[in-house]
Amino acid sequence: MIFAGKAGGFMAEIGKLLGEFKGLDYAPIKFDIAEDLSYWSAEIPGKVLA
């Protein structure tokens, strides 16, 4: 409801810019960053690896 913009507010305004809402999928997100900021990595298994 919130991400579809049906609850109003900020997300409703963003929804106007995006057009038709196709749905929402849940996925684990893995994020790692070095204490000295020398490297980072992010992964959504099967979708994104950075």
The closest of 44, 9, 7, 3 to 22, measured between CA atoms, is 3
* pTM for this entry: 0.46
Q: Is the separation of the CB atoms in 21 and 15 below 8 Å?
A: yes
Query: Is residue 8 very low, low, confident or very high in pLDDT (cuts 50, 70, 90)?
Result: low
Question: Can you give the pLDDT at residue 37?
Answer: 92
pLDDT at 2: 52
pLDDT at 39 over 80: yes
d(CA 21, CA 7): 14
Q: Which amino acid is at 23?
A: G
Q: Which residue has the tokens 């997100």?
A: 29
The chain-wide mean pLDDT, for the chain, equals: 80
- pLDDT tens for residues 11-36? 777 777 776 767 778 889 999 999 99
